Structure formats: C-alpha cells, structure tokens
Amino acid sequence: MSFTQPPSRPAPDGALIGLLSALGCFSFWGLFPIYFKLLAHVPALEVLAHRIVGSAVVLLIMILAQQQWSALRAEFRNRRRLGFYLLTALLISGNWLLYIWAVQQGRILEASLGYYINPLVNVLLGVLFLSERLNPRQLLAVLIAAIGVLVLVIGHGVFPWISLTLALSFGSYGLLRKKAGHPPTLGLCVETVLIAPVALLFLVVQGGGALGAINGATDALLLAAGPVTVFPLLMFLQATQRLRLSTVGLIQYLTPTLQFLLAVAVYREPFTVIHLAAFGCIWLALALYSLDAWFGHRALRKSPFFKGGN
C-alpha cells in the first residue's frame, strides 16, 4: 500500500534536502572571504570581471540544459525588461565589487555587519516601496539597529558606509527582483549576459590580467569564479523550494556569523568595545525581528485560511 504525503507539507526527504541545501549555501557564502583573500593579489575589479564572465558561461550552459533558450531570447527581445535587468545587474555587480574589495582590504567585519543589517533593511524597503506596515516589534528592532549604527559613528567617528552600502544594494536588488517576479535563474542569466561583454572587454584590454601571468593556483581560482558564484545560488533556490521561507530566513544568519568569526578569529581584524556594543545592538534587533517572524508564522498557521506549504 502506497502512502502519499499531504501536499500541505514537504516530504521528509524533501525537507532534509532543503535543510542541507540551506546549510550548504549559507555556509558557502559565509566562507567566501577565504576565496577572495586567496585572490588578494588580484585587483578587485579584475576578480569581478572573471566572476561575471564565468557566471554568464555557467548560467548559459544551465539554460541550454533546461531547454529554456526560447525563454531567454524572449527576455532579450523585451526592451522594457532589458532596462530593468540592466538596473538590477548594476546593483548586484556593485554589491559584488564592494564585497570583494572589502575582503581584500581586511574589512570583513564591516561586510558581515552589512549582511546582519540586510534583513532589517528589507523591512524598511517594504515600508517605503511596498506599503507594508511595521508592527511594534519590527519598529523596535529597526530602532535598535539604528542605535547600533549610531554607536559606530559616535564611537569611532567613521560612518559604516561599507556595511550600509552592501545592505542597501543587496536589499534594493532583492526588492526589484521581487516586484518584477522574474524566474531567479533566468533573471540572473540575463543580468550576467548583459554585462559580460563589458567585463570581457575589460579583461581583453588588461591582456588577460592575472590569468596565465602569475601561477597555476591563481588561474584555477579565477576560472572557478563562475561556479563558486552560481552553485550556492542553486542550493539557495533548492532550499527556498523545499523549506518555509521563515526557516530559510533564520538559517541565513549563518552567513554573516561565519564571516564575523573569520574576521575576528582567523584574520584578526580589530574588534573593540565599540564594535561589541554596535554588534550587540544588531544582534538584539535581529532576535526581535526573528521572534516577530516566528510569532507571525505561528499565527498564520492557526488561521483557518492557511493552506500550508512554503
């Protein structure tokens, strides 16, 4: 006798695959600083160019394998959508470039702070552009996070522009992609293919740059830029399909936590009392935000209109 699980809940095997995928992608992204540190002798702009070209190649192969070539051509025929894709491509490219540069300059701590702040930036963007409203817990979380940023400004006399730029650029990218509703893999393929000619031209003008000019290890790392960009994304998409988004949202804090630990414990970046106070505020804000999301999800499950699923 065969038994089929109710469609309202993911099958156990599917949930396990989703959990492993989520842990895989967020751990991979959390350990990204190691990869970019190994390429610290290559200019950040050149690393970005290899990342864009490599990602475009990998994604084009995937699109062909999935027989989505006609869908890709349709996207390129739509001028209005191409303008949108160009904007999102510039946002994600700028985010990638700043992150690579920050890691190479020994500012991983600031980058990790940016990705801790990102969920709260998403809340603010939802209020500003999606007419969403903050409940008291969410408002308190945003205010505490703002206090954390203010602590850094007053304590060190430096505006945390790296953290805020990373959070805002990635948050804005996510907002635009959410509003457009374009398929994730197809959309990323269009974005990378759009700017790949510029990246390729840059590499040609540089005479290939570091590729083939330093050593085999550098060549291997540069050629791996595409796969190490795309494969975690595929795991992320697998996780979002098989797990509740609230679960994925909680696991995502693994990325900045691993970055934070690498910065402090491995690369010995300065971590002062001011940093501790600022990060403490951000962690408290995220705890409130996560509790609010958890209570909200429980209330939704108790609703007679809740259908389950992701």
Residue 4 in domain: no
Q: What CA–CA distance (Å, rounded) separates 191 from 213?
A: 29
Dihedral Cα 79, 85, 91, 93, nearest 10 deg: -110
pLDDT of residue 81: 85
- The region of weakest confidence among 143-152, 206-215, 279-288 is 206-215
Q: Model confidence over 248-266: pLDDT tens digits? A: 777 888 899 999 999 999 9
Q: What CA–CA distance (Å, rounded) separates 130 from 142?
A: 17
**pTM score:** 0.84
Structural domains in the chain (count) = 1
Q: Which of 33, 23, 21, 25 is nearest to 261 (CA)?
A: 33
Report the helix count and the strand count for the chain, using DSSP H and E: 14, 0
Residue 180 in domain: yes
Q: What is the percentage of the chain residues whose pLDDT exceeds 90? A: 45
- Domain residues for 289? 12-299
Residue 217 in domain: yes
Q: What CA–CA distance (Å, rounded) separates 216 from 233?
A: 27
Residue 309 in domain: no
Residue 43 in domain: yes
Token duo for residue 183: 């398929």
Mean of pLDDT values over 39-63 = 95
Position 123 confidence tier, pLDDT thresholds 50, 70, 90: confident
pLDDT of residue 36: 96
Residue 244 in domain: yes
Q: Does the pLDDT at position 296 exceed 80?
A: no
Residue 308 in domain: no
Q: Model confidence over 125-184: pLDDT tens digits? A: 888 887 778 788 888 888 898 898 899 888 878 888 999 999 999 888 888 877 776 677
Mean pLDDT of the chain: 85
- The region of weakest confidence among 45-54, 151-160, 233-242, 293-302 is 293-302
| Contact status, residue 140 vs residue 284, Cβ threshold 8 Å | no
- The region of weakest confidence among 44-53, 175-184, 194-203 is 175-184
Q: What CA–CA distance (Å, rounded) separates 144 from 278?
A: 10
pLDDT of residue 301: 57
| Contact status, residue 16 vs residue 240, Cβ threshold 8 Å | no
Within the chain, what is the greatest distance between any pair of CA atoms? 69
Residue 268 in domain: yes
Q: Does the pLDDT at position 2 exceed 50?
A: no
Listed in sequence order, the residues at least 6 apart from 295 whose beta carbon sits closer than 8 Å to its beta carbon are 137
Of residues 308 and 69, the one with the higher pLDDT is 69
CA 286, 290, 296, 297 dihedral sign is positive
Q: Which of 242, 225, 192, 219 is nearest to 90 (CA)?
A: 192
Position 3 confidence tier, pLDDT thresholds 50, 70, 90: very low
Q: Which of 233, 216, 184, 205 is nearest to 54 (CA)?
A: 233
Neighbours of 240 (CB within 10 A): 18
| Contact status, residue 259 vs residue 111, Cβ threshold 8 Å | yes
